[in-house]
Amino acid sequence: MSTTPDVYSAEPIPEAARVEIDRLLQSGDLFRYTAEADAPVTLLEQEFAAMMGSRYALAVASCSAALFLSLKALDLPRDAHVLIPAFTFAAVPSAVVHADCLPVLVEVGENYRIDLDDFAAKLTPDIKAIIISHMRGHTSDMKAIMAMADAAGVPVIEDAAHSLGTTWHDRKIGTIGAIGCFSFQSYKLLNAGEGGILITDDADLAARAIIMSGAYEHAWAKHGDMAKRCAHWQNKLPLYNQRLSNLSAAIIRPQLAEVPRRVRDGLANHNYVAEALNQTGILHVPEPLAGERRAPDSIQFNLIGVDDAQANAFATEAATRGVKVQIFGLSADNARAFWNWQFLGSQPDLPRTRAMLMRACDVRLPARLTKAELDAVIAALVGAAHAIAEPARAYGT
């Protein structure tokens, strides 16, 4: 029997977190605004901003909260239309709804990137903001998107929840648009269970987001050189209280040093598996865009020349061999299939995105996997592909 690699467990949290958590438990100082200075959340913001080369960072409860606060910081009118990709996590249209805006869904191609023709067609004068989800780290053509957005005068928010460490022509993903949002949920590159952070170079957007995240009374005075900007917004904005706890920051901070290793190993693992899958002729991993350097902790590939029954059979065969494959459009109630976002009401169909989702497979591939474990994943996926391609041989004896 082949060994089945565990692709779900997270890496252990670095030992250094324990000392800091013990200190916090001793003092009971868990709220970010109690200490006079140097609270763990404040230090995390400073370190994250420095790592990304951004002027401001605001740590919050989740990436969803970061997206919501970004839209609020932009001061969009009620019912403003916000362009989002049709291939994203349900949290993204949800953040738009939460901010009293209306999402407009853009087609995504078989390479998981935004369809630029559909983007151009839907970037009408009604559109007041754009959220670009770099889904699973797949970066859309940010040069073309920023050119169109800038020409239209529409701000871009980057949903980089799952793209920390990805670069686009040597620029860090999340630093290209007006605001970048990241997640610290357990399946992302930095794991605190829950949490998120937004980064921006725009002082006014940062100040507004700081106040609305819950820097009430004069707590914003602890945001360093943002204090003066924040003072301007005192009592003028709602307080949505989406703050991060010191405990979460203490868990994230020692992981920042792990980012380069996780990025390097994740990419090497991905490319090793991709090469083997592409040789099957049935499983196809789309090429990265020129200038894109991803930081994957999972692999996506399309099933070529198969029908729904064969696609389902592939997932079953892979599961039998110990690897769970999720086909976005074929797994029940998938949160990344736009037709399941019934809370949006009726939406126009998006045939291109739909076709992609019906054949796009998702397999977790954490950076910590060994070569033997990667080989076991490859054997399972390639074996499953051969089984559905040659049913006579697979089922005949």
- Residue 91 found at the interface with ligand PLP (CB under 6 A): yes
DSSP string, 66-95: HHHHHHHHTTPPTT-EEEEESSS-THHHHH
Helix 371-389 and helix 308-320, axial crossing angle in degrees, nearest 10: 140
Cβ nearer to ligand PLP, comparing 88 with 111: 88
Taking CB under 6 A as the criterion, the residue among 158, 159, 292, 297 binding ligand PLP is: 159
94's CB contacts (< 8 A; 6+ apart) are 64, 343
Helices (H) and strands (E) in the chain, counts: 14, 14
- Residue 173 found at the interface with ligand PLP (CB under 6 A): no
**Of the candidates 211, 203, 201, 207, the residue with the CA atom closest to the CA atom of residue 175:** 201
**Of the candidates 395, 306, 368, the residue with the CA atom closest to the CA atom of residue 10:** 368
Contact 135, 162 (CB under 8 A): yes
- The window from 11-19, 31-39, 159-167, 388-396 that contacts ligand PLP (CB under 6 A) reads 159-167
- The window from 84-92, 231-239, 324-332, 374-382 that contacts ligand PLP (CB under 6 A) reads 84-92
- Residue 68 found at the interface with ligand PLP (CB under 6 A): no
Taking CB under 6 A as the criterion, the residue among 58, 63, 207, 244 binding ligand PLP is: 63
Question: What percent of the residues of the chain are helix, what percent strand, and what percent coil, each to the nearest 5?
Answer: 45, 15, 40
- The window from 61-69, 297-305, 326-334, 377-385 that contacts ligand PLP (CB under 6 A) reads 61-69
Taking CB under 6 A as the criterion, the residue among 49, 135, 252, 350 binding ligand PLP is: 135
Cα 108 from Cα 114, distance rounded (Å): 4
Shortest distance (Å) from residue 246 CB to ligand PLP: 18
Our CA angle for 308, 311, 313, nearest 5°, is 110
- The window from 2-10, 156-164, 220-228, 251-259 that contacts ligand PLP (CB under 6 A) reads 156-164
Cβ nearer to ligand PLP, comparing 176 with 378: 176
List interacting residues with ligand PLP (CB under 6 A).
Answer: 62-64, 88-89, 91-92, 133, 135, 159, 161-162, 183, 185, 196
